[in-house]
């Protein structure tokens, strides 16, 4: 039974973070439970690798525990602070794992991992699910251009060189893919399983 007067799950984010920093096991568990889906969602969106995303999520909570005392609510919410940590760790992991360019034939598999993982159904974050679904609906050439530019940080010229297409075509694919994503994410949510296969 909780020693608090009301459910721990109703405590503010800052109180849970303080409990994490202070080593309170009940508050630490509640902190992780509250944010685990969101942190994992950020990591999987950046890496496309469920195992790596799990590692990044664990590192995120370890870093939050070590640095909780420097959190400043004037600079943003706990959610923003934590997801920024997860995003930065995920970007670093992708960069360190990709010293060589990705082969275009491997990008189709990466897009499949992003859109069809079992974790997709477990994630509570609706935005992450909708983003993966929107990426999966893109034509393959636009999806590859978007992943190369958005996840791997390639310039339009690098995308053009990698895909062996003119620079203008690469820019168009990236711009068109981004426009389709914006439209899809602005539209009302579609229930899982209602979209065409």
Whether this model's pTM surpasses 0.95: no
Report the pLDDT value the prediction gives residue 192, as an integer from 0 to 100. Answer: 42
CA atoms within 13 A on the CB side of 19: 18
Q: How many angstroms separate the CA atoms of 35 and 126, rounded?
A: 14
140-157: per-residue pLDDT in tens?
A: 898 888 878 776 677 888
Q: How many angstroms separate the CA atoms of 181 and 118, rounded?
A: 22
Sign of the torsion formed by the C-alpha atoms of 14, 18, 19 and 20:
positive
> And the tokens for 140?
């393959």
Asked if pLDDT for residue 98 goes beyond 70, the answer is no
- Higher-pLDDT residue of 117 and 158 is 158
Contact 143, 177 (CB under 8 A): yes
What rounded mean pLDDT belongs to the chain?
A: 75
């Amino acid at each position: 039974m909780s020693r608090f007067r009301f459910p721990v799950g109703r405590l503010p984010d800052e109180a849970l973070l303080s409990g994490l920093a202070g080593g309170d096991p009940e508050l630490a568990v509640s902190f992780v439970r509250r944010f685990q889906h969101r942190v994992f969602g950020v990591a999987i969106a950046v890496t496309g690798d469920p195992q790596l995303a799990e590692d990044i999520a664990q590192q995120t909570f370890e870093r939050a525990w070590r640095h909780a005392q420097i959190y400043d609510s004037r600079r943003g919410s706990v959610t923003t602070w934590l997801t920024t940590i997860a995003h930065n760790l995920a970007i670093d992991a992708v960069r360190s794992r990709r010293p060589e360019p990705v082969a275009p034939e491997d990008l189709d598999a990466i897009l499949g991992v992003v859109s069809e993982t079992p974790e997709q159904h477990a994630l509570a974050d609706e935005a992450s699910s909708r983003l993966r679904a929107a990426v999966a609906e893109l034509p393959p050439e636009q999806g590859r251009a978007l992943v190369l530019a958005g996840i791997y940080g390639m310039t339009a010229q690098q995308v053009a060189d990698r895909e062996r297409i003119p620079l203008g075509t690469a820019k168009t694919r990236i711009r068109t893919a981004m426009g389709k994503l914006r439209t899809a994410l602005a539209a009302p949510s579609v229930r899982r399983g209602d979209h065409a296969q």
